[in-house]
Amino acid sequence: MRILLVEDDADLAEGIARALRAEKFAVDIAVNGEDGAHLGATELYDAAVLDLGLPRKDGVTVLREWRAEERTMPVLILTARDAWSEKVAGFKAGADDYLTKPFRVDEVIMRLRALVRRAAGHAGARVTCGPLTLDAQLGVFELDGLPLRLTALEWRVLSALMLRKEAVIERGELMERVYEGDAEVDSNSLEVIIGRLRKKIGAAMIQTVRGRGYRLTADDA
């Protein structure tokens, strides 16, 4: 999962990003509204964390622009503005959730996981595909009831496939959901990750759809 964090407080942004990366998320940071608006409009994210009091362009304006451009990623507003009128403005602009400062980073993570899960169409926290289960609220995979150990890149790829199980996800989209914007990526890196996942969960569960991408399936036929 890849998250856009738009926050002008550099220390706070780095702290949130560090916590998200520890939970295996990919994170891109924008420190002003203009850069945040551009990234959100041109890159693919599973969710965004957006401050309201941003330099160059305020958060509500950024959010309105995203929604006008039909960017549908879930957005969690994270701000010191706790007035009811500010919350109403945020939700009217298209926010999906709203959290005021001070806050616990653990809560930010839990809310983001819930937003991403619901955006993918899953009402419950547990998502199952054959012997594989994802607790989408805790970010934990199990195979045949046993914990599955995954690297951060493996977790991101498998999460993307799991939340859209049985659907084909194009290779380019998977790449965008796995790597941070400034990452140097080898051309065959995704195939290497897919190969490692097949060894861990069974080769038949991840199908290659020639010319398109990959599909996670419980059908081993």
Instruction: Write down the residue that tokens 């400062």 correspond to.
Output: 101
Helical H segments across the chain, by residue range: 10-22, 33-42, 59-68, 84-93, 105-119, 152-163, 171-178, 189-201
Over residues 131-188, the pLDDT tens digits come to: 999 999 999 999 999 999 999 999 999 999 999 999 999 998 998 888 887 777 777 8
Averages of pLDDT over each 10 residues, the chain, 221 residues: 95 95 96 96 95 93 96 92 82 92 91 94 93 94 95 95 95 88 77 95 94 88 45
User: What secondary structure does DSSP assign to 88-110, as a single string?
Assistant: HHHHHHT-SEEEESS--HHHHHH
Q: What domains are defined for the chain?
A: 2-119 (3.40.50.2300), 126-216 (1.10.10.10)
Select from 158, 128, 120 the least CA-distant residue to 144.
128
The Cα 29–Cα 144 span in angstroms is 37
Euclidean distance between CA atoms 55 and 143, whole angstroms: 46
Give the DSSP letter of residue 213.
Answer: E
Give the HSE-up count for residue 80: Cα atoms under 13 Å, Cβ half-sphere.
Answer: 6
Two structure tokens written together for 183: 């990452």
Residue 220, pLDDT score: 59
Model pTM above 0.85 = yes
Question: How wide is the angle at C-alpha 168 spanned by C-alphas 122 and 181, nearest 5°?
Answer: 85
Task: Note the pLDDT of residue 66.
Answer: 97
Q: Could you tell me the CA-to-CA distances from 82 to 79, 90, 107 in Å, in that order?
A: 8, 11, 17
Instruction: Identify the H or E element spanning 140.
Output: strand 140-143
Give the up-direction half-sphere exposure of residue 196: CA atoms within 13 A in the CB hemisphere. 16
Q: Burial letters for 174-198: b for 16+ Cβ neighbours within 10 Å, e otherwise?
A: bbbbbbebeeeeeeeebeebbeebe
